[in-house]
Amino acid sequence: MLPKKLLFILGTRPEAIKMAPIILELKKIPNRYDVHVCITAQHRQMLDQVLEFFKIIPNSDLNVMKQNQSLFELTASCLLKLEEIINDFNPELIFVQGDTTTAFVGALAAYYKNIKIAHIEAGLRSFNKYSPFPEEGNRALISPITDFHFAPSQKAKENLINSGITGEKVFIVGNPVIDSLFLGLEIIKEESENKFIQYFNFLDLNKKIILVTGHRRESFGLPFEEFCNSINEIALKWPDVQIVYPVHLNPNVQKPVYQILKDISNVHLIKPLDYPHLIWLLSKCYLVLTDSGGIQEEAPSLGKPVLVTREVTERTEGIDARTAILVGTNKYNIVTHVNYLLRDQDAYDAMSIAVNPYGDGNSSKYIIEILNKIL
């Protein structure tokens, strides 16, 4: 019997992180699957770093990244180039992940070619089509044309069923981002942690560290300035706490961050981190202040409380499980909750030991077990 042809389409760092463990597990199975990895390179540098870390070599590279291109250009370019890849490889199943433009166009291309679609991290919803934008629209558009929905949680499955998806097509598997987190930390240990300690030699690992990330476009302007002012106030109130902020390169982020935070001694503004350095710092920090979806999922597996600086989140499972608290960009909310977690050990411990609702680190194995049955 010929191997089943599987095409993985990815374009950004989060997609690579969440697809990597599945790709690596599939490649361990001899003669059963022919795995083709196609990257759009929607985000070039950050994507390449992850693929190199996990030692995944793409079979195809569409190289669509251009500075300041519109969603119209990106969508059209991906769609036209994907047609050629699909025609050449002729897959039986196409995998897309999450909610990026790459994921949406990958699913659309599969649909146009009448090829079955598997959607990893299916069923997330904020129920506000403009927040996050365009991600919420993308994932809602992917769902109706998908054949196999790999949902991270029961709530995600319910979201899909409530939108008219047949329950037999939905499989709760957790989120493979947890698989990647554990795998990544193991790789770091094997390669030696010393280079990571040297990279962060400005930190005292005996002191509490707050990891901060913030870059979502819906917060740009006054909300983002208020977010920065809250960090300012926290830093001044807690001089022994070290705040580390890898600053996104977007000018809408860089300008307010450096205007408000650049001269505070215990605030370390650093360049964006690659994936291994980010998860190493995540493993060493005390708590996290973030608007990142991936970090909301990863941090609880390491016992790190998360304060989510968004007005809405599609990852409500963490809120329900009390591994995360939605604080928005309101200065009072952010400062109050950080003070509470720094001051009250019982409150901190309650969040730290809460069970991560996003999985146990075996999602890729669950997905492959299902694949073995359905193909």
Q: Which residues are catalytic?
A: 99, 121, 135, 215, 217, 248
Residue pair 100/15 in contact by the 8 Å Cβ criterion = yes
Helix (H) or strand (E) holding 210: strand 209-212
Name residues whose C-beta falls within 8 Å of residue 115's C-beta, 6 or more positions apart in sequence.
Answer: 86, 91, 92, 93, 94
Q: Give the sheet arrangement for strand 33-39, strand by strand.
A: 60-61, 33-39, 4-10, 93-97, 116-120, 148-151, 170-172
Rounded to the nearest 10 degrees, how much is the dihedral formed by the CA atoms of 32, 36, 42, 46? 70
Helix (H) or strand (E) holding 50: helix 44-53
Question: In the structure encoding, which two tokens stand for residue 217, read together?
Answer: 């476009």
**What Cα–Cα distance (Å) separates residue 349 from each residue in 63, 305, 323, 352?**
45, 9, 10, 5
Helix (H) or strand (E) holding 368: helix 363-374
Buried b (16+ CB within 10 A) or exposed e, 121-150: bbbbbbeeeebbebbbebbbbbbeebebbb
Say which residue the tokens 């982020």 belong to.
253
Residue pair 41/61 in contact by the 8 Å Cβ criterion = yes
Name residues whose C-beta falls within 8 Å of residue 180's C-beta, 6 or more positions apart in sequence.
Answer: 17, 18, 20, 21, 54
* Cis check: omega of the bond before 132, within 30 degrees of 0: yes
Residue pair 273/249 in contact by the 8 Å Cβ criterion = no
